[in-house]
Amino acid sequence: MARTHNLGFPRIGVRRELKFALESYWKGQSSLEELKALGTELRQRHWRDQSALDLAPVGDFSFYDQMLDMSFTLGNLPERVSSFHGDMLDNYFRVARGRSAESAEAHCGGACDGVAAGEMTKWFDTNYHYIVPEFTAATKFKLDASRLLEQLAEAKAHSVKAKPVIIGPVTYLALGKAKDDSEKLALLERLLPVYAELLETLAAQGVEWVQVDEPILVTELDADWQHAFEQSYHSLKRARLKLLLATYFGTLQDNLQLACNLPVAGLHVDAVRGRDEISKVVDWLPGHKVLSIGAIDGRNIWKTDLNATLDWLEPIAEKLGERLWIAPSCSLLHVPVDLDSEETLDADIRSWLAFAKQKLAELAVLGKAINQGRATVADELATNQTAIDSRKNSGRVHNPAVKAAVRNITPEMGKRQSHYAARAAKQRVHLNLPVYPTTTIGSFPQTPDIRQARLAYKKQKISVDEYTAKMKAEIEHAVREQEKLGLDVLVHGEAERNDMVEYFGEQLDGYVFSQFGWVQSYGSRCVKPPILFGDISRPKAMTVGWIKYAQSLTDKPMKGMLTGPVTILNWSFVRDDQPRSESCLQLALAVRKEVLDLEAAGVHVIQIDEAALREGLPLRKSQWKEYLNWAVESFRITANGVSDETQIHTHMCYSEFNDIIEAIAAMDADVITIETSRSDMELLDVFEKFEYPNEIGPGVYDVHSPNIPSVEQAVDLITKAAERIPAERLWVNPDCGLKTRQWSEVIPALQNMVSAANALRANA
Ligand code: GLN
Ligand code: ZN
């Protein structure tokens, strides 16, 4: 009998109950008891949702983050919160979110200081962010199993077939940060006894299986880290329970033998991303071990092709018998909870989708088919087949004209007419800009008034004319303010956009939007990625009307504002029936049309944001090149159809370019604006060293903080920039868009920024 199990369930709640409960508690509007009670309710509800499985995860629920949970379980709290005496959960939130000195003052009457929040970073290649464990050479660990034991007791009380889930020691260390640059691996010896104690504690509760997540096994590991695996699992093998070592998000490759041979009772592998590797794993895995096959995509929202999966799984089941387990590829944390709550999704498209609950139902069908024969689930399989076929053959998915356009892409389409230097000379004459030209990144404050107008329009409470008039007034306001400030290249302010991806997705054919398809991004924050389901085309211009209007108000150049294809792709749920690169090229062709329409409408500066280019980097460095090739090519196809006189800008809001500088240069944008104000311009070193040839606008104003930069600070930053990049290739701008700020902050900040540019021009 093959067993079915799940690696983790989304904890946010089908209506994002956890989000609202957390935020209400943090604002002081509800009690800790109420928050904890909601946690209990969610866990029980989610176990009920998983009751058809042979084993359900316990400990996957978290009030903020599973890595932070693990830090607390291991007693690895940052020094700065160690003296806190209140409720453990409050201290947990202090690490997660930090606390300013002022709010600490209010909270403790001055008896405690502010604390910095723990650093957050991306969880592998997902859009989930975890709190980075902090280490020093002196770090000691001490078991606190209370959270797990409580949840386990709860699970037992509800007769859940419980399988506790923990992050494994090697992944835990690998994802943490040594604050003093000490060698993290040196801590392993101190860490392992605490893991052993934890396993012993769970064994004492009668636990049979523990899932130990070690996704770091799908990344490149050097010999020391491989050895850490040997050392860890040899030391934990005395545990009186069975370990299921869980890997996911990719293939094992060089770590395959290592993973197969570690002294554990079972191995979970991602058979969605790593399908080709499974036969090798079947061959290598010692005969006493369980193999858990992650056959259902835990990272995407498409229905599984159950018959095809069974065709593939049945021979493996034959071979493995009792030793086969089946599961989703990874925790379902990365997909929305329940498709049943969607009321407005198009019926066709809806029939192609599966969210977390539907995926578990698929798993149950697979399990039954394998254990009792396909005939016992004939109806389910037939319905599934209908949906799979409908998607495969749908005229809404497949648009021959779009496919042909992608096939007909020529290398010329990705190339500008001339090299940068020749273009820059023409643009200088054409745009007539001073040295240190000033601009902003696109958005201006999204006031409650704007948000209300957008919402009212969406709900058809105001007419299209009323809405348009409202947005035009807002654009005019933004233009007049920028003129008063004396900025050189203006923007329209993005009042009409809710989100830089959704705005475009809504206007492209091939996209749909869910109502409740929320996925946790970090803490209480969720995103609702649009669903790219079909070949992409642009029925009509998306931004030209607004930008043309904005340009008509001023003699200054108006910058057209678009989101690039790579960013649209990376922030969406994408198709699994064609390579990402193909979808990206389709997006590129659609946005390219918009670029050319803007140019034809007299817009001579066009910015194409690629905020998420870096986010798409594969987990293995060996695959970076391939990704960057098609990503950069997609950008080039989008941007490079314009004449030499038209100036292309791109914007990226992060600060790590060392390892991708070549690709950034290959994008060949005339101007790139980046986030630099907090790095004191050191980030420009890599551009200097690489002799980056085009123009750069290093941000001189940190938009994430309400602080208003002084003229001196801005002058200082620009001067530092000019030590690295020749002044004639420098722009002056903020780090990012200003949509989250208030006008009262933006005006003085930009005034100082413009004054700084003027002061430097006077000396130039
Ligand atoms: N143009 C966008 C804005 O200003 C860019 C946002 C981003 O890069 N995240 O809001
Ligand atoms: Zn940005």
**pLDDT attached to residue 226:** 98
Ligand 1 contacts CB of residue 561 (under 6 A) = yes
Ligand 1 contacts CB of residue 495 (under 6 A) = no
Q: At what angle do helices 356-372 and 32-49 cross, to 10 degrees?
A: 30
CA dist., res. 446 & res. 474, Å (int):
10
SS3 302: strand
In the predicted structure, residue 11 carries a pLDDT above the cut 80: yes
**pLDDT attached to residue 678:** 83
Give 188-237 pLDDT, tens digit per residue.
999 999 999 999 999 999 999 999 999 999 999 999 999 999 999 999 99
Average pLDDT over residues 635-650: 98
Query: Residue with the nearest Cα to atom 4 of ligand 1?
Result: 737
Atom of ligand 1 nearest to the CA of 737: 4
Running DSSP on this structure, what letter comes out for residue 573? B
Give 587-613 pLDDT, tens digit per residue.
999 999 999 999 999 999 999 999 999
Confidence category of residue 117, pLDDT binned at 50, 70, 90:
confident
Residue 700 CB neighbours (<10 A): 28
How remote is the CA of residue 613 from the centroid of ligand 2, in Å? 12
Average pLDDT over residues 26-31: 97
Ligand 1 contacts CB of residue 442 (under 6 A) = yes
Q: Which ligand is nearest to the CA of 703?
A: 2
In the predicted structure, residue 106 carries a pLDDT above the cut 80: no
Q: Which ligand is nearest to the CA of 611?
A: 1
Distances (CA, A) of 327 to 171, 210, 297: 21, 15, 9
Confidence category of residue 680, pLDDT binned at 50, 70, 90:
confident
Provide the ipTM. Answer: 0.99
704 in catalytic set:
yes
Choosing from 85, 288, 604, 704, which is the catalytic residue? Answer: 704
Give 707-748 pLDDT, tens digit per residue.
899 999 999 999 999 999 999 999 999 999 999 999 999 999
**pLDDT attached to residue 100:** 65
In the predicted structure, residue 654 carries a pLDDT above the cut 80: no
How remote is the CA of residue 442 from the centroid of ligand 1, in Å? 6
In the predicted structure, residue 115 carries a pLDDT above the cut 90: no
In the predicted structure, residue 368 carries a pLDDT above the cut 80: yes
- Regarding pTM above 0.80, the answer is yes
Residue 392 CB neighbours (<10 A): 12
Tokens of 567: 């960013």
Give 410-440 pLDDT, tens digit per residue.
999 999 999 999 999 999 999 999 999 999 9
The Cβ-side half-sphere exposure at 491, using a 13 Å CA radius, reads: 23
Running DSSP on this structure, what letter comes out for residue 617? -
Tokens of 452: 């209300």
Contact between residue 215 and residue 124 where contact means Cβ atoms under 8 Å apart: yes
Give 508-553 pLDDT, tens digit per residue.
999 999 999 999 999 999 999 999 999 999 999 999 999 999 999 9
How remote is the CA of residue 124 from the centroid of ligand 1, in Å? 24
Mean pLDDT of the chain: 96
**pLDDT attached to residue 728:** 96
Contact between residue 273 and residue 329 where contact means Cβ atoms under 8 Å apart: yes
Ligand 1 contacts CB of residue 732 (under 6 A) = no
**pLDDT attached to residue 118:** 86
CA dist., res. 135 & res. 173, Å (int):
9
**pLDDT attached to residue 656:** 86
CA dist., res. 595 & res. 588, Å (int):
10
Q: Which ligand is nearest to the CA of 736?
A: 2
Residue among 7, 729, 676, 726 nearest 296 (CA)? 7
How remote is the CA of residue 290 from the centroid of ligand 1, in Å? 48
CA dist., res. 250 & res. 231, Å (int):
23
Residue among 297, 196, 187 nearest 243 (CA)? 196
**pLDDT attached to residue 81:** 85
Residue among 514, 482, 497 nearest 451 (CA)? 497
How remote is the CA of residue 737 from the centroid of ligand 1, in Å? 5
Ligand 1 contacts CB of residue 653 (under 6 A) = yes
> pLDDT > 70: what percent of the chain?
98
Average pLDDT over residues 403-407: 98
Give 141-174 pLDDT, tens digit per residue.
999 999 999 999 999 999 999 999 999 999 999 9
Query: Residue with the nearest Cα to atom 10 of ligand 1?
Result: 737
How remote is the CA of residue 443 from the centroid of ligand 2, in Å? 10
Average pLDDT over residues 463-485: 98
Tokens of 122: 């991306």
**pLDDT attached to residue 704:** 87
Confidence category of residue 85, pLDDT binned at 50, 70, 90:
confident
3-state helix, strand, coil in the chain (%, to 5): 50, 15, 35
Query: Residue with the nearest Cα to atom 7 of ligand 1?
Result: 611
Contact between residue 535 and residue 564 where contact means Cβ atoms under 8 Å apart: no
Pocket test for ligand 1, best of 606, 736, 738, 750 (most atoms within 8 A of CB): 736
Give 272-317 pLDDT, tens digit per residue.
999 999 999 999 999 999 999 999 999 999 999 999 999 999 999 9
In the predicted structure, residue 625 carries a pLDDT above the cut 70: yes
Say if strands 531-537 and 509-512 run parallel, antiparallel, or are unpaired. Answer: antiparallel
